[in-house]
Structure 1
Amino acid sequence: MSNWWKKQNIGTKYFTIFGITLALFVITLSIVFMQFYRLSGNVEKMDQASRQEILLTEMGSIVKEKTIKAYSYQFQPNETTVKQYEEISEHLTTLEENVEGIILSSQAEAFEQYKTINNQFNHLFFNELIAAILMDNEIIVTNTLRQMEVLNSQTIDILYDLRSQYEQMRQESNETTFSNITRSAIVILIATVLTIALSGIIIVRLNRSISNGLKNVVHTANEISEGNLSIGDIQTSSTDEIGQLSTSVNHMKNNLKAMVEEIQHVSQTVTIQSEALKESSNEVQQGGEQVAATMQQLSAGADQQADAASEINEKVNVFTSLISNTNTLGEDCFQASSEVLQSTSSGKELMKNSVEAMENIYENVEQSFQKIGGLEQKTKEVSSLVEVIQGIAAQTNLLALNAAIEAARAGESGRGFAVVAEEVRKLAEQVSQSLEGITTIVNGIKTESKIISESLTTSFHLVKEGTESIRITGDTFGTIHEHIQTMGERIQTMTHNLQDVTKTSKDINMSIESIASVTEESAAGIEETAATIEQSNHSMEEIASSAKNLSQLSEQLNVLVTKFK
């Protein structure tokens, strides 16, 4: 593995590090995706359990409402009450179908038991209670109502048990969701730390390897630039760019060393031959050197200017491309913000509808609360009436007793009157017994009315609080809508500015191309000028060429040779 790593170039090494980091990142994303997939399943279970709780709670309320209607029919035996009872039953049937479609298999038996009891309740109402009330048979009415009350209690208990099971399931899903979130956070943290640590270690080692190699190369190059060719070769076992550079520097040093030795020999020969011509060609040499140096500087300056203009042109092209890409991203961002703005508008409208729905529910609960209050008042009036009837029955019984005493005193002539008095006394006793049953029923109605009143009071406050919360949420959606709209306008302004910058960059690019063209023409002019000077010095070619070349070569070689060790 170490030998393979040394043979790779720097680009491959950095690409390998990038690949390792990317692989770790992909693994981290996969783990996070799996955790969030589990999390979505738990959230779906929580949502299903919450919907079932709401449906079962509503069914319990409707079952109580059916019971109230059944009791109401005793005092209001008309078709309106029966029709209202049928409408409530139909609504309850609809809810049963909704619940039955998503009921758990473990709860199916209990739900079937609930349906059986509900059918028995309806049977008692339609087939026994209505007939008994129409026949004015108080005993059957009382027994039927008692049976219906027992069935109602059983129904409420079953629905409460089912709702409790869903509530427990929702709590368990909530705990599981929280556990998954915590686990996901820990996994992300550990994976991120491992990725950063591993990538950092590899990059630090690679940078250290490159830095050490470059230090050796720079040190050797500095020694060579100072004329020290006796320095040892750079030791390297790598074949990447740093290793190749080290090998090239070693070859350059050895070639320079051989070249310097050859130059020393040539320099000695040239020095001896150039002494004879040095004095006669001195003036011509000085003029030619001055002109040549000036032309070289001009030519080098023109070349540097042309290179700089070309480099600037390339950088401006890159800058223009980046601006164009940024402009495209700005347009995409503006399109995305427009879509978000549209979604926010829809959410705002939906929140408005939710507020209206909650207000309607609030009004319905308030009306039901008021009707229950009226029912309690009517129950009190019935109780007062029962007390009055009890008093009349007691007086009637007392009168019948007095009549019987008087009939006994009258003897044979009062026997018929005694029979009448006995019948009146029996009638008074029956009335007293009936009043006792009525009193029991009225007291039961009072108790149920009080319980329903307390439940509606709690529902009344909860609905009120829910309405206020939804109203505040609607206002928040409105604020979000305004902020997103402002953000979209700013993004659009930024896009227009980027378009202007792109246009300006293109104009700058054209100007730089023009400068490069002029610089190239200047360089060509300098070359032509140099050629003209060479023609003017042609008459001095024999003397100047010999003296100048020999003198320059001798001096340059002597200077160069003295620099190297």
Structure 2
Amino acid sequence: MFNNKTIRTKMLIVSITLLLLPSLVIGTTAYFSSKENLDITGEKSLKNGVEMALQIIDALNQQVEDGSITIEEAQEQARIYLIGPKKEDGIREIQSTVDLGEHGYFNAFNEKGIDVVHYSDEGDNSWEIKDVNGKLFVQKVINKAQNGGGFTTYEWKLPNNPEKTGEKIVYSALDPNWGWVVAAGTYKMDFNAGANQVLAIVAVTLTISTVIGIIIIIWFTGSLSKPLRLVTKHVNRLANGDLTVEPLDINNKDEIGILANDFNVMAANMREIIQTVEHSIHQVNASAENLNAISEETSASSQEIGGAIDEIASGTAKQAEDAEMSNKKMGNLSTQIEKVEQLNEKMTVQSQAANEASQSGLAQMTSLQLKSEEANQLSHTVVEVMNRLSTRVTEIENVISVIHTISDQTNLLALNASIEAARAGEHGKGFAVVAEEVRKLAEQSSQATGDVRQTLTGIINESQQALQAIELSQNLSNEQTKAVSDTKQSFELIVDSMKEIVSSIHEVDHEVQGMSAHKGEVQTAIEHIAAIAQQSSASTEEIAASMEEQLRAIAAIANAAEQLNEAGDELKQKISRLRL
């Protein structure tokens, strides 16, 4: 419940409590301490009075013993000293010089309880007198005196107000000379009169100091809580999003003044930060939209590049198949050339029996002619394949040029994205990393296209060499065809021209050996073409894989841009709740 109070109320409660509590403790302690000391002082006064009375009685009794006065005279002098002279009405006026308090006086009893000394009841028997509580206090007073002296307390009516009672205290002692029980008694309130005065002074002082303290506390708490309430009001407005709160005008030099100045600085900094964030949000949204558009364009370009690379891969694979087929055909051609060499050897061995095997030789030459034509046809096929290969390589080089151009554009886009990311500041660091990765991919693509172009240049050079070798082989094949035709004619005229046939056979053998020598070169060139085609196919696959990775990176960039745009919109929505 105390926690629900205001600071001023709490300070008032605590301050007044701290003001009143010590005052009450000091006042109460002073009162009871004064009362206790006064009680002790009063008791000593009563005891000293009784002892002094006993000394006076002893002195008077000495005079009696000396014979200076009679015992009656001595006892009367004692009564006059203890109380005062007796008036005509039989009552003694209390004139004792011993101060026993306002209502205090001496009296004395004999052992039977008869008042031998009393201001009004002298000669009366008080043995059976009881106090308001029914206590036989006179008997106790006498008993205390007979036992060496002591104090007796009892309740008795107040002299000025008989309807009320007060506690009386009596000290009694026994006089050994006359047998009197001398007593001195008074009301305890006479002892405590000083304590009551102290209590009154403390009460007045406490009241005045409390009133003055409360006034000072109220003024102090007001001067302390007023700026605190003003600070609390401004803080609540700021917490509710009202950044238009005016600066606090508090000139205190204490912690409250420092708090107010810190609040003004905080509010100004918050307004500046919110305005900066709002401006940055607009820039981030614009950059995110631009990045998203660039990502879409790059993705479309990459898809087109991927399609072109797929076509290149398909053409390269077809080229590798054609090269493999050409290699097989060249193997067959080699086999045929070997057969021609064997036949030529047979023709040389059987030249001596030409006449006998002219028909057989003619048939062999016919077969050789067919084979030569077939070889010539294969040569034409290889030439056509090499021409197509050259055309494909040229097309690949054109596509590689396109890829290289796109890579340069992608690199430029990545550079622009890095610049935009640098403008975005802290929010663009992640986008800068992505742009750097795109730039690296573009550089790798450009390097790969350079490698492919270099490889294609080698392919073109090798193809040209192979084409030249094939053209040479074709010329040889044409010559072989002509030689076979001539040989056939020679076989027809074999009977008449045996020597010409032998010469022709040697010429054929020479040409066949030439073909055999060139066939290895052609086959090697075709194998190089096949190897280059396979390498081109592998490079194309690597390029396709790189493009796929680039597409994934672009998709990640687009996703990050979209998330950045959404975050900017969300932050803009939250900032719109604030009033600047």
Normalization by structure 2: what TM-score? 0.31
Over alpha carbons, which structure has the higher Rg? 2
Q: Which has the higher contact order (CA 8 A, sep 6+)?
A: 1
Q: Which structure is higher in strand share?
A: 2
More helix by share: 1
